[in-house]
Each structure stands twice: as C-alpha cells, then as structure tokens.
Chain A
Amino acid sequence: MNPVAPNFRNASRDAVKNAQLVAAVRKSSDLLSDLMARAVANTPDFEALRDYGRARKLEISGDLEKYVQSFTAHARAAGAVVHRAKDAAEAARLAIKIAADNGTKTAVKGKSMTAEEVELNEALEAAGITVTETDMGEFIIQLAHEKPSHIMAPAIHRSRAQVAELFTDKLGTPPDLGVEALVAAARKDLREKFLAADMGITGGNFAIADTGSIVLVSNEGNIRMTTTLPRIQLAVVGIDKIIPEMADMPKFLALLARSACGQTISSYMSIVTGPRRAGEEEGPEQLHIILLDNGRSRIAKGPYREILHCLHCGACLSHCPVYRAVGGHAYQATYPGPMGSVISPLISGLGIYADLPNACTLCGRCAEVCPVRVPLPDYLRDLRSDVKKPPFMMKLTAFGANTPSLYRLGMIAMRRMLKKGGKGLMAPALKEWTVCREPPKPQEGESFRDWWRTRSYCK
C-alpha cells in the first residue's frame, strides 16, 4: 500500500495550489454534472427508478451470500471458472496462478476499479506478465505511472496539453496533438496489443445471479476487444456487483449510464455468459471470474451496508465541492470522493483513512445525486464517531455548553476575545481558521440576552 500514511490535509493543501489540476478537474466535473442533469431531466420516471434501485439493492445486501451462491452456480453451469477471494492478496494470487497455469505473457485490460483495489497490475507485472491498460484514460495514466483520480474518468486531472506531452515522450507522437489525433495514436498503439494478448482482464459492472452473466459497459470498444480476442479472460468482480435477475439489469443500467455520463446506455454493452462455445470463432477458451469479498460480506452485516449499493457511477465525485477543489489523488485511496471516503476506511480500516470521513462539508449534494440513494453524508458523519474517542477539549466544551450558566459565560467570553481581534486565549483556536480568513467579527452593542432582559423588565 502507500509507503507513507495517507494525510488528506497535506495532500489537499498541495492540490488546491495546483491551478492546472483544479482547472482540469473542474472542467470535466462540470461537464459530467451537466450531462447527468440533462439526462435525468429527460427521464420522467427517474425518481421511481432510484427508489426501485435502492429497494432492490436492500434486498440484495440483506442476503448477499444467497446471491453469491446463485451467481457462482449459474456462471459455472455456463462454463466459467469461478474463484472466490476473501481479500485483495488472495485475488492477486489467484490471478497470477491463472496466468501462470495458461502460460500467458501479455494481458490487455479494461478499466476496473476492483482490479485497482487488489493492485492487480502490480501483482501481475511482478510475476512477469505485461499488462496494458486499454481504456483511454487508464492508458494515459499507465503511461504516466499514476493512479486513477476518478472512478469513471481516471485521467480527469490531466489537461489535453499534458496528455499530448506524455504521448510525445512515450509514444513518439508529434508535439501538441489535438484530442482526436491523440485518440488515433492510442488506437494504433493498442490495436496490435489487442490482437497479440494472451489474456483479457476486465472488471464487471453487473453480475447477474440467475444467468451467471457478467455485464460490461464501455464507450470505447476496448471491453469488447478484451472479452473477445484473447484466449483467456479474467473478470475481477466485487460481490457487491451481483444483481438477482437479468430483468433487473436494464433498470440498473439506466441508473448507471445516466448518472455516469448522461447516457441512456453506453456505446457498447457486452453480456458475457461463459467462455466461447463449441463451434464459435470468437471469445476466450476460458473465462475465469474472481469474486472479490475484501470486507464486503462484513460491511453488509454492519451499519454502513448501503455503501455496497454503490453503482460506481462517479456522480458523487463530480458533484462534491471537496473533490472538485482537490481532485482524486489527494484522497490517497483507490476510491476517492464521497463514496470513497466511506468505502476506503471500511475496507482498509479507519486507522489508515481516519481523515477521509472528515474531508467533507456535509453539504448533502452527493446524496442528492446518488442514483441508488446511498446516505453518504449520514455515513460520513457516523464514521467520524467511529474514528476515535472525542478529544478532551470537546468533552470539556460539551460540559460547558450543556450547563446554561457556563454556556452564557462562554458566549460572553468569546464575544470579548473576538472583539479584541481573537488574540490571547483564542489565538490557538483561531490558528487554522485564519489560514484563509480573518477572525470572526462580533457585532458591536449589547448582547441579545442583555437586550431581552431589559426589554422584558421594561414591559
């Protein structure tokens, strides 16, 4: 994991100073938010769809193991090899074994946050397998040796000019190419790799319990290539992606596509049910599915169960004022933004990600846009009380605030100190406040309580 303990304060302080980063994140987030708003406005029954999504997900997360079993049985019946990984390390071990057993040397990969979660690329590369990211955004950040900064648009933090420079450096393209030429260069580079790869690695947007199918959406076509061309296919899928029936899928897809980038459906959708069948000229000879738990079964039984309902659409990121100000890398976690600030500490422990539940203004925008109504602000608030025992000062002030006479004295004292510019006793408390602001300025004149007493007396 991270060699240095994640520290949101330090990372975010640097991020807000990076004007290019802030501008790039803002531009893309604005666009994605607008696209979603337009798509939602054009969907009259969207609120009913959200209700359906939440209700159905509650059924699933309430009986997760049942659906895992059902999916496993149906996928096996369709000819897939289903593995179950209890944690990230086991998933990585399984993937290496599958690659080694089949003598694979090169892999092409579609964008998968679950693969990021298990650090699959690092594991496979260490085992001598070359993995090429084929999603445009992932391709860019792989060339730059970076991590995704957005779960849906991984290279959202980079400007066109930066990508052009990177391509010149790594692929030898002419300098300062436009977006279309950059995309054409990537197409050319990747096409050969698609045709040559032994293994195709994907995540899964949905796993259908009653058919054992994996559903994958993409706009670029790289997922179709990855699931059709190589002889071995590996799908790494979180068990939270399972939905009961094929009949549920169009509704969840409608929620996902609209919320992710304002579409009715993505350019491509592949429903993969087992490997290539007898006589078929396409598709892998083997389909391996690693079902990743990594804390999900535990989370399903706890108070934050609904975070497993997340469709990974990224709407909460693009709408979050904090995410928009700092981008995804400042979170130093696989999953950034509001959903990430909930799921990351739940998976990896509050000890590592104690900052993240606090990295939120509780503005409520994420809950407003979440397609399956995950109560993200409530969860972030509740997680704060799980982090650690309240500091002594909070307890002391709580006692004061609960004792009317002390509370009144406290208010008077605060007024007086702030009138003197907040120096002296208040200075330490104001240290952080005044990083970007002047001390609060109390109004002149008598306090409300004095005014009320005089008035009541005169009446």
Chain B
Amino acid sequence: MILNQYLAKARGVGVDIELLSLSDLNLRLAALVDELKAKSVALPLIGWPEPLLLTVKTEVEKCGSVTVSPRRRMDGGYEWNRSALGSATLGITFCGAFVAETGSLAFPSGPGFGTLASLLPETHLALSYAKDCRPDLGGYLAEFGADIPSRLTFVTGPSRTGDIEASMTTCVHGPGRVLHWIISA
C-alpha cells in the first residue's frame, strides 16, 4: 500500500525504480556497470547490511571497476579521497529509509556513511529493502527524537533546475539519473 504510493511519487519525479529479488542483484549490477562503462564506483562501507555490501562490492569489482570508499584513519575516523571520489561515474549507496508521502530517499550522515557517493557521480543507485518504506516525512523524522545526525539528506529524483526560462533540465550539480532498486524480502 505505502510502497505503491512511494512508487507513484518517486516515479513521478523521475526516479528509475526496480523491484527485484536478491538473487537478481548480481546480474542487474553487472548490466548497469557495463551500461555506464563505470571505471570507478563510489561505495560507502558503513551503514550497510554486511552481506548486501559484500555482494555489491564483489560484483562491481568482478566487472573490472574500482570501488572508491571512505578510508578508515588511524584515529578510527573516516575520510574520502576527494579526487578519486570526483572521478567516480556511479555511486551506489544503501538507503535504509525511503518515504512514500514525498517519494524521497533518506540518507543520514555518520562515520563512513559517505553520503557524497549519492551526490558527486552522474548516476546514483540506491539499494533498499521493501520493508524500509516509511509512510511520511513527519513519522520518519520523529524516529530520531532529539538525536539528529549532523546531516540528514533527502533525495527526491534527479538534480534539476528550472532557472533558464523555467524549463526543467536535469543533472545540474548532482546526479542526472537516480536509480532505486528495492529488494523484496
């Protein structure tokens, strides 16, 4: 029910959504990397369910692509290699919450969460589980209580502008293409 609402909203703003089962993931990933001829893929390492991350990382590297991830420093913190990140053509992130009311993907920040992977490359693929769909923005925000991350980002469709003669054009600063693959349970 709310998933249908999400699908309608997000597709309405140009998100390319696929519903797939976990077993289809490898094939679809290989096809996407091939289609984009993605030499380098931005891939955060934290905030993922471990097996899913492994599947993705292994498949992407099997396709001959390099993965770019936040590095763990000696002090336990993380850092990006910015120039490597800047050259990634595809960013793959896990999206642990998406909102039906607005058709939005939510990305909280945190050590190693690497939300820039959803911003700098021209194509962004978000992976979610169907169970992680939330009905509305207010309810999702309430989940945080007083404990709000330093940056909480909502992505609703591709980067766009209407600033020239109010004609809508995509891929301004962020990705021109947003893919959302929702993995069924």
Contacts and interface: CB of A to CB of B under 8 A. Distances in A.
Contacts of B76: 279
B111 A179 contact: no
Contacts of A15: none
B67 to A, nearest CB: 15
B135 to A, nearest CB: 12
B91 interface: no
Interface size bucket, A side?
35 or more
A173 B153 CA distance: 33
A32 B86 CA distance: 34
Contacts of B86: 191, 195
A261 B162 contact: yes
Given A194-B173, A195-B82, A281 B155 contact: no
Given A134-B173, A250-B138, A250-B141, A273 B149 contact: yes
A282 B114 contact: yes
A231 to B, nearest CB: 12
B162 to A, nearest CB: 6
Nearest to A184: B171
B156 interface: yes
Contacts of B31: none
Interface in A199-214: 211, 213
B172 A156 contact: no
Interface stretch (B16-24, B33-41, B101-109): B101-109
Contacts of B148: 78, 211, 213, 246, 271, 273
Interface in B132-185: 136-138, 141-142, 146, 148-167, 169, 171-175
Contact of B172 (A24, A186, A263, A276): A186
B165 A280 contact: no
A163 B164 contact: yes
B164 A265 contact: no
Contacts, number: 189
Given A224-B153, A281-B78, A32 B166 contact: yes
A332 interface: no
A250 B77 CA distance: 33
A456 to B, nearest CB: 60
Nearest to A251: B138
B115 A187 contact: no
Given A280-B78, A281-B80, A135 B111 contact: no
B109 A282 contact: yes
B13 interface: yes
Nearest to A228: B116
A311 to B, nearest CB: 17
A190 B172 CA distance: 10
A160 B164 contact: yes
B119 interface: yes
A140 interface: yes
Contacts of A32: 166
B70 to A, nearest CB: 4
Given A273-B150, A281-B79, A155 B164 contact: yes
B173 A271 contact: no
Interface in A22-39: 24, 27-28, 31-32
A376 to B, nearest CB: 23
A194 B86 CA distance: 11
A273 B151 CA distance: 6
A183 B170 CA distance: 8
A174 to B, nearest CB: 16
Given A179-B165, A183-B161, A270-B151, A222 B109 contact: no
Contacts of A224: 119, 153, 173-174
Contacts of B150: 78, 272-277, 280, 283
Contacts of B164: 136, 140, 155, 158, 160, 163, 179, 182-183
Nearest to A111: B163
Nearest to B104: A265
A183 B152 contact: no
Given A250-B136, A281-B112, A264 B172 contact: no
A304 B9 CA distance: 38
A279 B157 CA distance: 29
Nearest to B115: A282
A134 B159 CA distance: 13
A451 interface: no
B7 to A, nearest CB: 14
Contacts of A158: 164
A249 interface: yes
Can you list the 5 inter-chain pairs with the closest CB atoms, starting with the nearest?
A221-B174, A279-B111, A137-B163, A279-B77, A220-B172
Given A179-B165, A247-B141, A279-B76, 7 more contacts: A31-B162, A186-B172, A191-B86, A191-B173, A249-B141, A264-B101, A268-B153
18 contacts: A28-B166, A180-B169, A187-B173, A191-B173, A219-B172, A220-B159, A221-B175, A246-B148, A261-B162, A263-B13, A267-B174, A268-B155, A276-B150, A281-B77, A281-B80, A282-B109, A283-B109, A283-B151
